[in-house]
Amino acid sequence: MKMMKRQYRIGELAKQLKLKKFVLRFWEKELGIKPQRSIGGQRFYQEEDFETFKTIKTLLYERKFTLAGAKKELSLLNAPKKSIIASQKTDMNISPSQLKIHDEPSSIHKELLSIKYKLQRLQELL
């Protein structure tokens, strides 16, 4: 038997997030969120959309991001992650002067922001 994913209409989503419907529509437009639509044009949101809106609300209302900042942060959070593979030469006791960084500073910054956000989410759960 196939399990159906949870879908929300805009009213249900607004109620769950304690927001007004027009706020969700505005965020949709400004942040490029494309919900599924029925033949009649009614919006249907998936669980992933719910999580995205919850993240946006946290960024804007709790972490005091601007809308532009939240948009940038969302793109960083949704960026593909690089996997780190340890080699046999991995040594945890090297000095900072011995470190050689091959990544671009912007990719390191993105990773740090992602880690910071995940730590804040963990702290909220505790």
What are the structure tokens assigned to 10, written together? 């805009």
CATH topology of domain 7-78+100-125: Multidrug-efflux Transporter Regulator; Chain: A; Domain 2 (1.10.1660)
Which residues are paired to 44 by β-bridges?
Answer: 36
pLDDT tens digits, 60-80: 999 999 999 998 888 888 766
Spans of all domains in the chain? 7-78+100-125
Indicate the pLDDT class of residue 90, thresholds 50, 70 and 90: low
User: What's the pTM value of the predicted model, to 2 decimals?
Assistant: 0.59
